[in-house]
Amino acid sequence: MVGNLADLTGSITFEPQTIFQSPVTASIISASGHISCSGLIVGGSEINLLKGNITASGVISASGGFIGGVTSTGTGTFANVNTGQGASQVHLMNQNIRTTDAVVFATVDTGQGANELFDMNQNVLTTSNVPFDGVTISKDTFNTAIAALGDLTIETSRAFTLGKVSIPEISKLNTSPVYTINNEAVTTTSVIHCSMNNTDLQVFIGAISAGQFEFYFFNATAATTVAVAIQPINFVIL
């Protein structure tokens, strides 16, 4: 057939196979076999295939969309893909990510940085009762002297060491003056642990209130008095 398909009205049906060597522009092309084009098929309305395929060595373009499956043995390029959850980009993957898959990642960033995740056998929430075999706590050291009836501000450190505590001599079975530590980490329900390496004195926690706590020494030896020099004292606020 020689002529311009645009001059024709109605529909044209070709059987069993039609091959176009130049561009074809039409409102409807219907085929029960194959439509093969070495150039470009441009449909002003729709391109309907009854049973066959559209085969092109160039590009198949649609301003609307493709209804049905698109199968390609080559590499398809899309700006994004919408499978019903919105237009999304698809990135490289080397594993399945399903609810039933054991997924392996080098690190996981949930907004707090790239972190490694380790095995856990218990919840570690603010409301959890967590047992540990041991806990290592780093602490600050304060060498500012604290005098009798005086006080020292430690700001918010929850673990710290007092390197210098000046106390008067204490007679046996008596206590020292009370010392006060100001610390914003202390609450009325805080548990405070203190310890020191001294065989002559015992150290005790006194009153605890919001922002501060007290401590004092007790002479539990048989000696009349104990020396003013004592070892550093460690505190942990829980």
Domain boundaries, the chain: 12-77, 140-237
pTM of the model: 0.52
Q: What pLDDT, on a 0 to 100 scale, did the predictor assign at position 212?
A: 93
Distance CA(30)–CA(45), nearest Å, equals: 12
Dihedral (Cα; 120, 121, 125, 128), 10-degree rounding = -160
CA-CA distance, 211 to 181, in Å (whole number)?
Answer: 9
| DSSP designation for 32 | S
What is the token pair recorded at 140?
Answer: 């600050």
User: How do beta strands 233-237 and 192-196 pair?
Assistant: antiparallel
Q: Which CATH number fits domain 140-237: 1.20.1070, 1.20.950, 1.10.287, 2.60.120?
A: 2.60.120
pLDDT at residue 235, as a whole number:
92
Structural contact between residues 56 and 37, judged by C-beta atoms closer than 8 angstroms: yes
Residues forming beta bridges with residue 175, ordered by sequence position: 218
pLDDT along the chain (238 residues), means of 10: 58 63 65 65 62 67 68 78 88 92 94 92 93 88 68 83 78 86 93 87 92 90 68 88
pLDDT given at position 72: 72
Report yes or no: 142 and 160 within 8 Å, Cβ to Cβ: yes
Q: Encoding tokens for residue 79? A: 């700006």
Q: Which tokens go with 116?
A: 């490694």
